[in-house]
């Protein structure tokens, strides 16, 4: 088989599924807390299972009986993960007795006829040896004993997973490489702005839980999608509330996860609820994206509810409120009606081209000499700054190092002038750029 194997981690709430997920992928991705039911959406990451390149999926806890409201959706997500999986890890807590939820999950897996590895977590507990024999009643044979929190038995579990995948016909990769040709797009916004609805509309499937209850998405969810031969990774996140309105615990973790999502993305889509308008929190999210030097798209969602005059009013307000990012493209869309949503991919392609743009050093120096002579650097001090030379040192994002004589005396507004002139000449639309100033008393080679 050439496709990746999908491995789902399932079990009742609070047995250590997310801890195991993080341990296997080697980093903290899924939210971990003592509160049961922390993981709501399916969270997925690439996982190297002893040479097998796989997609590992963490799921919400499976509980017996009909649930109400959002917990009903959580159960549906877990069942979808089981249907999609090639191999399932059923996790049980052997520090405690098995419950009706364990047997309910096992019964569902027996009916699915999917290959299952039984994982007995918390095996370092004093009651583990006494409870381990009860796990045979689940019908999956000898369990793999682990302690996810203390890294015990993880190697044995990796070997068991690899052996099982080999029997299923999945071949090992020579090396599991990160794909550099994938554009990562992070979708951010206030709670209930429609982020999960937008992801689902783009994917055409109900992968992320959608609800009118603000704050539904707690984890960061990654999903790869291919559009017209190009690959993208969509990152959906929990909505960011104002710091004063964040609840302790889970809300705090979700805010940290948003910062992580921005860090791993190439482009941030700020999704604004067009029905509610622009808030201070939208500006805060934009500032986070700028500090991380990412590409930026401002999306106005629920445009189907807006009249022409409403859109014109919003455009003027965006221009005023986001005057510090005049280069960020603005798009009106409707996740509900799938209107204009695929324009996000076209904009992302253009922004990635801008982020990769490079300017030759000779051309760049000629340009900066021209604009610094046109508008000489102002300073309140006696020693006036003077441009010496510069170069572009990196791309994605574009980074420039500029050497000035007496650079500490530059007026705070001058970097903004240089950035504006640079954008007028070379574009860099949709992306942050970085200007670094260094002090120099030497004369550039071209003038020696």
133 and 34 in a single domain? The answer is: yes
Strands 399-405 vs 434-439: parallel, antiparallel or unpaired: parallel
Token match 């052996």: residue?
163
Within-domain flag for 390: yes
CATH of residue 407's domain is: 3.30.300.20
For residues 161 and 13, state if they share a domain.
yes
DSSP assignment of 259-276: HHHHHH-SEEEEEEETTT
Co-location of 86 and 122 in the same domain: yes
Q: Residue 20: in which H helix or E strand, if any?
A: helix 17-25
Provide the pLDDT for residue 213.
47
58 belongs to a structural domain: yes
Q: Return the pLDDT at 434.
A: 94
pLDDT given at position 260: 66
Phi-psi label, residue 338: left if phi above 0, alpha if psi -120 to 50, beta otherwise = left
* Residue 46 to residue 177: CA distance in whole angstroms: 10
Among 313, 333, 355, which residue terminates a domain? 355
Task: Report CA Rg, the chain.
Answer: 26
Which of 306, 333, 355 lies at the terminal end of a domain, its last residue? 355
Alpha carbon distance 268, 397 (integer Å)? 13
Answer yes or no: is 173 within a domain.
Answer: no
Same domain, 394 and 249: no
Residue 374's alpha-carbon distances to 15, 28, 84, 218, 402, in angstroms, are 67, 51, 62, 51, 17
The dihedral built from the CA positions of residue 36, 40, 44 and 45, taken in this order, carries a sign that is: negative
Same domain, 336 and 188: yes
What lies within 8 Å, CB to CB, of 10 at 6+ separation is 17, 59, 62, 78, 81, 82, 88, 89, 90, 91, 105, 109
Residues 283 and 419 in one domain: no
Q: Order of strands, edge to edge, in the sheet holding 386-394?
A: 386-394, 399-405, 434-439
Say what the pLDDT of residue 219 is. 54
| pLDDT tens-place values along the chain, 448 residues long | 346 788 989 888 889 888 899 889 876 554 444 444 444 444 667 788 888 888 888 876 665 554 554 445 445 656 777 777 899 999 999 999 998 888 988 888 888 889 999 999 999 888 888 889 999 999 999 999 999 999 899 999 999 999 999 999 888 765 434 445 789 999 988 878 888 889 889 988 665 544 554 444 445 577 888 888 888 988 877 555 455 444 443 343 344 456 667 877 899 999 999 988 898 888 888 988 898 899 999 999 999 989 999 999 999 999 999 999 999 999 999 999 999 999 999 999 999 999 999 999 999 999 999 999 999 987 667 788 999 999 999 999 999 999 999 888 898 899 999 999 999 999 999 999 999 999 986 655 554 4
CATH code where residue 97 lies: 3.40.50.300
Whole-angstrom Cα distance, residue 332 to residue 86?
Answer: 39
- Is residue 193 included in any domain, yes or no? yes
Locus of tokens 């700020």: 270
Q: Please give the tally of structural domains in the chain.
A: 3
pLDDT tens-digit series, residues 1-36:
346 788 989 888 889 888 899 889 876 554 444 444
Indicate if 125 and 233 belong to the same structural domain. Answer: no
Three-class SS state of 202:
helix
Q: Is residue 177 part of a domain?
A: no
Cis amide bond preceding 397, omega within 30: yes
Separation of alpha carbons 160 and 165, rounded Å: 9
- Indicate if 331 and 389 belong to the same structural domain: no
Please indicate, yes or no, whether residues 298 and 152 belong to a single structural domain of this protein.
no
- What are the pLDDT digits (tens) for 123-145? 988 888 888 999 999 999 999 99
CA gap 332, 295 in Å, rounded: 18
Q: Supply the pLDDT for residue 216.
A: 44
Q: Which two tokens stand for residue 313?
A: 């009013």
| Rounded-to-10 torsion of CA 404, 405, 411, 415 | 0
Question: Is 367 a domain residue?
Answer: yes
Q: Are residues 128 and 51 in the same domain?
A: yes
Report if residue 306 sits inside a domain: yes
Contact 377, 402 (CB under 8 A): no
Range of the domain at 139: 5-167
44 and 145 assigned to the same domain: yes
Which class for 56: exposed (0-12), middle (13-18), buried (19 or more C-beta within 10 A)? buried
Helical ranges in 116-226 per DSSP H:
128-131, 154-167, 195-203
Residues 154, 53 share a domain = yes
pLDDT of residue 84: 75
> Taking a C-beta distance cutoff of 8 angstroms, is the pair 255, 240 a contact?
yes
Which of the listed residues 307, 335, 355 is the one where a domain comes to its end? 355
Structure tokens given for 113: 């006829």
Q: What is the pLDDT of residue 373?
A: 93
CA distance 196 to 336: 11
Query: How far apart (Å, rounded) are the C-alpha atoms in residues 225 and 366?
Result: 43
User: CB of 322 within 8 A of CB of 270?
Assistant: no
Q: For 72-107, how does the pLDDT look when each residue is reduced to its tens digit (9 = 90+)? A: 544 565 677 777 789 999 999 999 999 888 898 888
For strands 52-58 and 43-49, give the pairing. antiparallel
Tell me if 192 sits within 8 A of 211, measured CB to CB.
no
Using alpha carbons only, what angle is made at residue 7 by residues 93 and 201, rounded to the nearest 5 degrees? 115
Q: How far apart are CA 121 and CA 144, in angstroms?
A: 8
Structural domain contains residue 174: no
Alpha carbon distance 380, 289 (integer Å): 33
């Amino acid at each position: 088989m050439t496709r990746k194997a999908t491995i789902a981690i399932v079990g009742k709430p609070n047995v250590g599924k997310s801890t195991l997920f993080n341990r296997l992928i080697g980093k903290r991705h899924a939210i971990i807390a003592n509160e049961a039911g922390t993981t709501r959406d399916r969270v997925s990451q690439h996982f190297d299972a002893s040479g097998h390149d796989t997609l590992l999926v963490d799921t919400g806890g499976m509980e017996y009986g009909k649930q109400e409201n959002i917990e009903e959706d959580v159960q549906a997500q877990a069942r979808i993960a089981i249907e999609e999986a090639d191999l399932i890890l059923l996790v049980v807590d052997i520090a405690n007795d098995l419950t009706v939820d364990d047997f309910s999950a096992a019964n569902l897996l027996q009916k699915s006829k999917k290959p299952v590895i039984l994982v007995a977590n918390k095996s370092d507990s004093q009651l583990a040896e006494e409870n381990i024999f009860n796990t045979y009643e689940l019908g999956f044979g000898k369990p793999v004993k682990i302690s996810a929190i203390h890294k015990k038995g993880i190697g044995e579990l990796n070997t068991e997973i690899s052996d099982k995948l080999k029997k299923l016909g999945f071949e090992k990769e020579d090396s599991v490489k990160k794909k550099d040709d994938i554009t990562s797009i992070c979708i951010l916004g206030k709670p209930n702005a429609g982020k999960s609805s937008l992801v689902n509309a783009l994917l055409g499937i109900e992968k992320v839980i959608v609800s009118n209850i603000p704050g539904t998405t707690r984890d960061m969810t990654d999903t790869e999608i291919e559009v017209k031969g190009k690959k993208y990774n969509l990152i959906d996140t929990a909505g960011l509330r104002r710091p004063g309105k964040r609840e302790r615990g889970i809300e705090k973790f979700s805010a940290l996860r948003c910062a992580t999502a921005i860090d791993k993305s190439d482009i941030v889509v700020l999704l604004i609820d067009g029905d509610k308008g622009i808030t201070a929190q939208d500006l805060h999210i934009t500032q986070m994206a700028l500090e991380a030097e990412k590409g930026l798209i401002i999306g106005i969602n629920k445009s189907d509810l807006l009249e022409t005059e409403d859109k014109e009013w919003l455009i003027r307000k965006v221009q005023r409120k986001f005057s510090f990012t005049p280069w960020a493209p603005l798009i009106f869309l409707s996740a509900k009606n799938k209107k204009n949503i695929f324009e996000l991919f076209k904009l992302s392609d253009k922004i990635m081209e801008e982020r990769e743009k490079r300017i030759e050093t000779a051309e760049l120096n000629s340009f900066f000499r021209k604009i610094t002579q046109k508008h000489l650097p102002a300073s309140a001090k006696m020693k006036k700054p003077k441009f010496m030379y510069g170069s572009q040192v990196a791309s994605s994002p574009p980074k420039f190092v500029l050497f000035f004589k007496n650079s500490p005396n530059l007026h705070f507004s001058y970097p903004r002038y240089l950035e504006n002139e640079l954008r007028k000449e070379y574009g860099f639309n949709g992306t942050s750029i970085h200007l670094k100033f260094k002090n120099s008393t030497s004369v550039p080679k071209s003038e020696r």
